[in-house]
């Protein structure tokens, strides 16, 4: 049973999606069943989380033959890193359904289910071909949602993001093939498992570097890192709320996760030799995207930059080569997913009700929708890294980590406490708090949150504070995995 | 047994804040709740915090104990161990004692001040949360937990300044306060991190840092000392991070009294005193702090002489008095600095409350000339205001005299004559601008034939009365030796190892007389110019001083405008015109290239079969070579 629980978690949404596709036409039925499905998955993941032993490495492994002649296996398992993100995904999806509840079509919900299978599969794969399979399939539902339900120049945006990510994926595919053949050349059997790839010893340093870069490019596009980011503004601006939510809260994080899962074990020496380069790119992105966000008028566009800024910071933490930075990065993955995901959903509601998502047209929201505003503010302050919220704990740890990596870089990365605060508060002032400056200050039609939406958001609000006030509980779950990476995989414990 | 009381000092106001917040949402969404409930919750919980602090204080006074309460492990990763732990030593109990005391009084005052405001419940929710954060800041056992309180008070300050959020100016002022403080917070955070690594990651609690301070190299200590002080500059409104404080006066007056006069703004002074072991090791940085304090004191006093908004005058005077406190802690005179924090809390809170009473009585007018013209009979307010003005001007035996004089005497005794001189001159300016304010508000003749009497509500009167007693007598608890003194505060804060005085009694007498003379001459000049001032004539609104040396405008150009320009440049030029355009160019190039190759795709199956043959051969060859290991 315990071994199958992961497969069940992965495939249940897809199976339900296919059944619903055939059996019913009613969008509300589809939505209700889909919602129940996500709740069931949440329960399973919670059970997994509570029974997980942090010290025991990869657990709940299933390893079945998939394509025998090439040694490609259906090989999945979970460790502290992936478990934390798995928990995060389960925790994000059901409440998101509650906020997206009204007025969506059958196709929308079916795609939401499919995307969950893709994401979870990619997260839990320990075989690189299997990973590649999920990595690609998780994008298709997003493209469909964007192309069908997006706004503005949606077709162009969809094509742009598709071409971008596929270009990256192809590089990764080539690298996977190369590693597979290298393994075959050395050991005489085919295997695409990560733990097989880590044994390859015949590659030259240059070859490893090129392979590393091929992977890194694919992940950098997904995250996105500078200069692979120009797809994100159009996409986030034009994509419908659900797609933006999935992209920003979950998929972007998988890019970072993939770095940890694959690049560190397979190319430890490249990872530590070139870490300075990625830390610098990360810190540069933090500042560059943060400044670019300042003057955006479209809130979704502003948050696209904001997201990129935070994800760059996360990437810098991942490459800091020490427990502080890596734990902080993983913690920020969660904190940022909750806060930014929540903000995107709230902006979705704002856009739906008022018809605007441009700051200059908004205003006067707070007096009409106080509960909306309170929750918006909590997410916003978590994003800004206010102590007592989850955002602070993560930023603190990453700054500690980067300081240990190099004091000067640590100082520069500290700017994070200024950057997000400046554009977030300014936006909050103009779009939510102060009376409108256009239309003679006439109020927009805005309702407050419904009970259902509040219920969906409360777990996140609670989590933001619990993670900010008692982080040790969560960090204990993944700290051993982080320490394992640092002391066992990286050369010479890498740091000092 | 008493140790477990410590957390309740914080939990009571926190609970009050949460209850009031919840009730307020209920109030606006579901059913109206009478103001009385909010008022009771909002004042009883701070009072309980005060009572518990008092119990601990008395116990400590009797047994000389120090309380330490470990609540839970906040974060433990690698060598970074941060417990959620509270420390009740002489310093923190001293600080929380007057914070809860003055805090409770101002909460009571706010009941009347905020009466009939639609945001009454919200106000008390924020106010209680502020008090909880402030007490966490004071009682924290390590700088990270302190920082949680530190930013907590910052965000409450933001929320309260932008309390009337519908008006743009208020929110802008709130943003400014938050962001300028964040610049300081950045310094604080980096200072803590630098110190932690400078001490070889040995520990982060104040006590372990104190023990291991010798492990660190001098340059790193200096660096962390300066960075931490940048934090204090932000929170305590010192040059160059002071610009938020005058703007913060847009919030309701009780906020100005509690947050921007008595408690939060003194957090920087408290923090420097907390890190006294660090600053003792780097006297050069201490001297730097003292000079920043001295110049801030002078600069703010100069600006205050020409302002016309009653609350802004008081705001600049707060900044100026904070400058004195930094002179003290910078020169190692920690107990004198904290004594001034203590007395200042009384008379400045009282002045703000009096100003609030005036503003309420005279239809939300804040211009001092207008307030003078439309004067009403306000016996309680006018008397207590006068007491406050005398106290801040440094006339014995009022509280401000003793605490300010202890600082000036200490500076002189340490041989820092320039600082002493600046302090003395600032004292002259202080007496001048405070009495200018008093004369214009209450004395200068106006055209009214008969003054209307305005009744002051009891919940404004009682706090004013209590604070007036403090403003008159608080000085006596720490008399200097030369005046037959008892040194209560100095003894209580002996843990800080403040620099002792090294001065003959004769010299001390001379200094005391000199400072009284300076204050008196300030009052005299103000009397000459303003006691018979014609209120219908406004003072000129031009010149450097009235316009606050144009610092806001300069900051706006250098920081805000250039960040905005950079932002537009990044998104419109770099992203759109350079990166995206070149990628789109690349894809257009591909399309053109593809068009060029269309002749290959001629719908002729034989051609296609040929391409496939080429492809297959290439792949087979590659795989063959690979398997051969070539």
Give the ipTM of the model, two decimals please.
0.90
Mutate which: A434, A475, A493, vs B, most B CBs within 10 A:
A434
| Residue B571 touches partner A, C-beta closer than 8 Å | yes
Check residue A1 and give its pLDDT.
43
CB contact under 8 A, B186 and A414: yes
| Residue A288 touches partner B, C-beta closer than 8 Å | yes
| Residue B185 touches partner A, C-beta closer than 8 Å | yes
CB contact under 8 A, A387 and B148: yes
| Residue B163 touches partner A, C-beta closer than 8 Å | no
Q: Is A126 left (phi over 0), alpha (psi -120 to 50) or beta?
A: alpha
Rounded mean pLDDT of A325-332? Answer: 91
Mutate which: B74, B559, B571, vs A, most A CBs within 10 A:
B571
Q: Residue B581 corresponds to which tokens in the numbers above?
A: 């355009």
What is the Cα–Cα distance from B476 to B403, expressed in whole angstroms?
A: 10
What is the Cα–Cα distance from B177 to B242, expressed in whole angstroms?
A: 9
| Residue A387 touches partner B, C-beta closer than 8 Å | yes
The maximal CA–CA distance of chain B, rounded, in angstroms, is 116
pLDDT in tens, B523-568: 999 898 888 888 777 777 778 888 888 888 888 888 888 888 888 8
CB contact under 8 A, B175 and A425: yes
Percent of the residues in chain A that have a pLDDT greater than 70, as a whole number = 98
CA–CA distances in Å: residue B113 to residues B3, B100, B125, B165, B355: 36, 19, 15, 18, 11
Whether B395 contacts B351, CB under 8 Å: no
pLDDT-based confidence at residue A131 (cuts at 50, 70, 90): very high
| Contact partners, residue A66, CB within 8 Å, separation at least 6 | A72, A73, A74, A127, A130
Check residue A494 and give its pLDDT.
43
CA B390 from chain center: how many Å?
25
Q: Which residues of B36-45 are buried (b: 16+ CB within 10 A; e: fewer)?
A: eebbebbbeb
Mutate which: B11, B27, B29, B77, vs A, most A CBs within 10 A:
B77
Of B75, B171, B172, the CB nearest to A475: B75
Q: Give the helix/strand (H/E) hosting A61.
A: strand A59-67
| Residue A389 touches partner B, C-beta closer than 8 Å | no
What is the Cα–Cα distance from A236 to A245, expressed in whole angstroms?
A: 9
Check residue B361 and give its pLDDT.
84
pLDDT in tens, A180-209: 989 988 888 888 888 888 888 888 888 899
How close, in Å, is residue B197 to chain A by CA atoms?
8
Q: Looking at chain B, which residue has its C-alpha nearest residue A389? A: B148
pLDDT-based confidence at residue B296 (cuts at 50, 70, 90): very high
CB contact under 8 A, A294 and B564: yes
What is the Cα–Cα distance from A350 to A315, expressed in whole angstroms?
A: 31
Check residue A156 and give its pLDDT.
83
A280 pLDDT above the threshold of 70 = yes
Tell me the whole-structure pTM to 2 decimals: 0.90
Check residue A118 and give its pLDDT.
92
pLDDT in tens, A409-448: 999 999 988 988 989 999 999 888 888 888 777 888 888 8
Residue among B557, B306, B523 nearest B431 (CA): B523
Of A425, A469, A472, the CB nearest to B178: A425
How close, in Å, is residue B86 to chain A by CA atoms?
15
Residues in chain A closer than 8 A to B226 (CB atoms): none
Q: Looking at chain A, which residue has its C-alpha nearest residue B118? A: A367
Residues in chain A closer than 8 A to B150 (CB atoms): 387
Q: Which residue did the predictor score with more confidence, B182 or B549? A: B182
Whether B477 contacts B489, CB under 8 Å: yes
| Residue B183 touches partner A, C-beta closer than 8 Å | yes
Residues in chain B closer than 8 A to A473 (CB atoms): none
CB contact under 8 A, A479 and B77: yes
| Residue A400 touches partner B, C-beta closer than 8 Å | yes
What is the Cα–Cα distance from B413 to B419, expressed in whole angstroms?
A: 11
User: What's the full length of chain B, in residues?
Assistant: 630
Q: Which residues of A, range 92-131, sit inside 8 Å of B by Cβ?
A: none
- What DSSP character marks residue B265? G
Residues in chain B closer than 8 A to A438 (CB atoms): none
How close, in Å, is residue B149 to chain A by CA atoms?
8
Residues in chain B closer than 8 A to A407 (CB atoms): 194, 197
What is the Cα–Cα distance from B417 to A92, expressed in whole angstroms?
A: 63
Check residue B608 and give its pLDDT.
75
| Residue B175 touches partner A, C-beta closer than 8 Å | yes
Q: Which residue did the predictor score with more confidence, A481 or B451? A: A481
pLDDT in tens, B203-242: 889 988 988 888 888 899 999 999 999 999 999 999 889 9
Percent of the residues in chain A that have a pLDDT greater than 90, as a whole number = 32
What is the Cα–Cα distance from A46 to A50, expressed in whole angstroms?
A: 6
A3 pLDDT above the threshold of 60 = no
| Residue A425 touches partner B, C-beta closer than 8 Å | yes
| Residue B18 touches partner A, C-beta closer than 8 Å | no
CA B194 from chain center: how many Å?
23
A148 pLDDT above the threshold of 70 = yes
CB contact under 8 A, A323 and B78: yes
Chains A, B: CB contacts under 8 A, how many? 143
Whether A414 contacts B186, CB under 8 Å: yes
A362 pLDDT above the threshold of 90 = no
Rounded mean pLDDT of B324-335? Answer: 91
User: What's the full length of chain A, in residues?
Assistant: 496
Q: Which residues of A, range 325-344, sit inside 8 Å of B by Cβ?
A: 327
Cα Rg for chain A, rounded, in angstroms? 22
CB contact under 8 A, B189 and A426: no
Of A163, A295, A471, the CB nearest to B74: A471
Residues in chain A closer than 8 A to B179 (CB atoms): 418, 421-422, 425
Residues in chain B closer than 8 A to A166 (CB atoms): none
How close, in Å, is residue B150 to chain A by CA atoms?
9
Q: Which residues of B, range 109-138, sit inside 8 Å of A by Cβ?
A: none
Of A295, A392, A399, the CB nearest to B571: A295
How many Cβ atoms from other residues are within 10 Å of residue A77's Cβ?
17
pLDDT in tens, B605-619: 777 777 777 887 888
How many Cβ atoms from other residues are within 10 Å of residue A86's Cβ?
24
Q: Residue A284 corresponds to which tokens in the numbers above?
A: 């540069």
pLDDT-based confidence at residue B453 (cuts at 50, 70, 90): confident
B269 pLDDT above the threshold of 90 = yes
* Per-chain mean pLDDT for chain A: 88
- Classified as helix, coil or strand, A459 is helix
- Classified as helix, coil or strand, A66 is strand
Residue among B242, B119, B501 nearest A373 (CA): B119
Mutate which: A184, A187, A221, A292, vs B, most B CBs within 10 A:
A292
* Per-chain mean pLDDT for chain B: 87
A78 pLDDT above the threshold of 60 = yes
Residue among B288, B166, B188 nearest B239 (CA): B288
pLDDT-based confidence at residue A279 (cuts at 50, 70, 90): very high
- Classified as helix, coil or strand, B545 is coil
| Contact partners, residue A77, CB within 8 Å, separation at least 6 | A6, A58, A59, A60, A61, A62, A124, A126
Treating both helix axes as pointing N-terminal to C-terminal, what angle do B334-361 and B379-393 enclose, rounded to 10 degrees?
150
CB contact under 8 A, B571 and A296: yes
CB contact under 8 A, B567 and A366: no
Q: Residue B543 corresponds to which tokens in the numbers above?
A: 């010149």
Q: Looking at chain A, which residue has its C-alpha nearest residue B182? A: A418
Residue at token pair 């239809």: B363
Q: Looking at chain A, which residue has its C-alpha nearest residue B175? A: A425
Check residue A311 and give its pLDDT.
93
Of A230, A404, A470, the CB nearest to B575: A230
CA angle A32, A33, A37 (to 5 degrees): 120
CA B394 from chain center: how many Å?
24
Residue among B410, B546, B524, B385 nearest B467 (CA): B385
| Residue B147 touches partner A, C-beta closer than 8 Å | yes
Q: Which residues of A, range 227-246, sit inside 8 Å of B by Cβ?
A: 227, 229-230, 233
């Amino acid at each position: 049973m315990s071994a199958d629980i992961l497969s069940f978690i992965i495939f249940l949404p897809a199976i339900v999606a296919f059944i619903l596709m055939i059996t019913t036409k009613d969008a509300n039925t589809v939505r209700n069943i889909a919602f129940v499905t996500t709740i069931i998955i949440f329960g399973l993941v919670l059970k997994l989380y509570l029974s997980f032993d942090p010290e025991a490495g990869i657990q709940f492994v299933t390893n079945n033959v998939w394509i025998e002649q090439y040694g490609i296996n259906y090989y999945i398992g979970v460790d502290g890193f992936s478990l934390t993100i798995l928990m995060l995904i389960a925790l994000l999806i059901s409440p998101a359904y509650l906020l997206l509840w009204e007025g969506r079509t059958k196709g929308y919900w079916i795609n939401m289910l499919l995307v969950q299978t893709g994401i979870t599969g990619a997260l839990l794969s320990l075989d690189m071909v299997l990973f590649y399979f999920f990595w690609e399939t998780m994008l298709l539902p997003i493209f469909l949602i964007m192309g069908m339900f997006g706004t503005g120049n949606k077709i162009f945006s969809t094509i742009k993001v598709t071409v971008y990510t596929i270009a990256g994926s192809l590089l990764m595919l080539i690298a996977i093939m190369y590693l597979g053949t290298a393994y075959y050349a050395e050991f005489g059997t085919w295997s695409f498992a990560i733990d097989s790839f880590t044994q390859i010893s015949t590659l030259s340093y240059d070859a490893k570097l090129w392979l590393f870069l091929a992977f890194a490019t694919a992940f950098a596009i997904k995250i996105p890192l500078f200069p692979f980011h120009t797809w994100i503004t159009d996409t986030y601006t034009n994509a419908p709320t659900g797609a933006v939510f999935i992209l920003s809260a979950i998929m972007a994080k998988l890019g970072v996760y993939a770095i940890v899962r694959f690049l560190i074990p397979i190319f430890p020496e490249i990872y530590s030799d070139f870490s300075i380069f990625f830390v610098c790119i990360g810190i540069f992105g933090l500042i560059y995207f943060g400044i670019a966000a300042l003057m955006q008028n479209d809130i979704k566009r502003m948050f696209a930059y904001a997201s990129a800024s935070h994800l760059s910071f996360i990437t810098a933490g991942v490459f800091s080569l020490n427990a502080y930075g890596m734990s902080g990065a993983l913690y920020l993955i969660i904190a940022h997913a909750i806060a930014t995901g929540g903000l995107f959903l709230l902006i979705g509601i704002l856009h739906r009700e008022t018809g605007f998502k441009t700051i200059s047209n908004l205003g006067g929201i707070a007096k009409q929708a106080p509960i909306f505003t309170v929750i918006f503010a909590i997410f916003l302050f978590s994003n800004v890294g206010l102590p007592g919220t989850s955002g602070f704990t993560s930023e603190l740890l990453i700054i500690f980590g980067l300081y240990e990596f190099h004091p000067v870089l640590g100082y520069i990365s500290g700017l994070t406490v200024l950057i997000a605060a400046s554009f977030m508060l300014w936006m909050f002032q103009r779009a939510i708090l102060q009376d409108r400056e256009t239309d003679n200050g006439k109020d927009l039609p805005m309702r407050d949150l419904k009970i259902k939406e509040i219920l969906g958001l409360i777990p996140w609000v609670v989590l933001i504070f619990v993670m900010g006030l008692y982080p040790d509980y969560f960090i204990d779950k993944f700290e051993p995995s982080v320490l394992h990476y640092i002391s066992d995989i990286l050369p010479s414990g890498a740091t000092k | 047994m008493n140790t477990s009381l410590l957390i309740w000092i914080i939990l009571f106001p926190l609970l009050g804040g949460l209850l009031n917040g919840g009730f307020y949402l209920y109030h606006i969404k579901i059913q109206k709740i009478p103001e009385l409930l909010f008022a009771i919750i909002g004042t009883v919980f701070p009072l309980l915090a005060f009572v518990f602090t008092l119990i601990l204080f008395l116990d400590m006074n009797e047994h000389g104990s120090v309380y330490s309460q470990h609540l839970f492990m906040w974060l433990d990763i690698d060598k970074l161990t941060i417990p959620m732990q509270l420390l009740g030593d002489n310093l923190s109990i001293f600080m929380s004692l007057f914070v809860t005391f003055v805090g409770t009084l101002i909460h009571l005052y706010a009941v009347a001040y905020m009466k009939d405001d639609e945001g009454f419940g919200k106000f008390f929710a924020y106010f209680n949360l502020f008090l909880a954060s402030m007490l966490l800041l004071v009682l924290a056992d390590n700088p990270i937990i302190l920082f949680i309180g530190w930013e907590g008070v910052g965000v409450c300050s933001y929320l309260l300044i932008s309390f009337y959020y519908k008006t743009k100016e208020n929110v802008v002022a709130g943003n400014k306060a938050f962001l300028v403080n964040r610049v300081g917070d950045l310094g604080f955070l980096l200072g803590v991190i630098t110190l932690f690594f400078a001490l070889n990651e040995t520990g982060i609690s104040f006590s372990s840092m104190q023990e291991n301070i010798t492990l660190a190299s001098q340059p790193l200590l200096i660096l962390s000392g300066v960075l931490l002080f940048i934090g204090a500059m932000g929170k305590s409104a010192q040059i160059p991070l002071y610009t938020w404080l005058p703007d913060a006066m847009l919030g309701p007056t009780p906020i100005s009294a509690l947050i921007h006069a008595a408690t939060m703004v003194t957090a920087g002074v408290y923090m420097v005193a907390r890190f006294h072991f660090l600053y003792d090791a780097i006297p050069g940085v201490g001297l730097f702090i003292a000079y920043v304090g001295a110049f801030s004191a002078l600069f703010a006093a100069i600006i205050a002489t020409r302002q016309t908004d009653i609350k802004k005058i008081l705001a600049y005077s707060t900044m100026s008095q904070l400058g004195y406190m930094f002179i003290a802690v910078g020169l190692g005179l920690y107990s004198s600095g904290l004594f001034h924090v203590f007395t200042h809390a009384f008379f400045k809170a009282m002045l703000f409350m009096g100003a609030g009473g005036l503003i309420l009585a005279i239809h939300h007018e804040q211009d001092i000339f207008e307030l003078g013209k439309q004067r009403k009979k306000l016996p309680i307010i006018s008397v207590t205001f006068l007491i406050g003005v005398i106290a801040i001007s440094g006339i014995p035996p009022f509280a401000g005299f003793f605490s300010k004089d202890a600082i000036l005497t200490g500076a002189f005794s340490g041989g820092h004559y320039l600082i002493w001189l600046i302090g003395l001159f600032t004292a002259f300016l202080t007496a001048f601008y405070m009495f200018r304010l008093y004369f214009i508000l209450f004395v200068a003749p106006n055209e009214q034939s008969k003054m209307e009497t305005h009744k002051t509500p009891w919940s404004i009167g009682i706090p004013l009365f209590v604070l007036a007693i403090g403003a008159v007598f608080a000085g006596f608890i720490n008399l200097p030796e030369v005046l037959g003194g008892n040194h209560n505060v100095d003894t209580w804060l002996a843990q800080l190892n403040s620099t002792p005085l090294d001065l003959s009694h004769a010299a001390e007498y001379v200094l005391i007389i000199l400072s009284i003379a300076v204050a008196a001459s300030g009052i005299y000049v103000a009397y000459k110019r303003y006691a018979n001032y014609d209120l219908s004539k406004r003072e000129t609104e031009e010149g450097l001083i009235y316009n606050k040396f144009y610092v806001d405008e300069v900051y706006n150009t250098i920081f805000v405008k250039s960040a905005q320009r950079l932002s537009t440049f990044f998104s419109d030029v770099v992203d759109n015109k350079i990166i995206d355009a070149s990628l789109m160019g690349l894809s257009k190039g591909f399309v053109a290239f593809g068009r060029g190759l269309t002749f290959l795709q001629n719908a002729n199956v034989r051609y296609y079969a040929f391409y496939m043959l080429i492809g297959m051969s290439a792949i087979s060859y590659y795989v063959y070579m690979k398997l051969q290991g070539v």
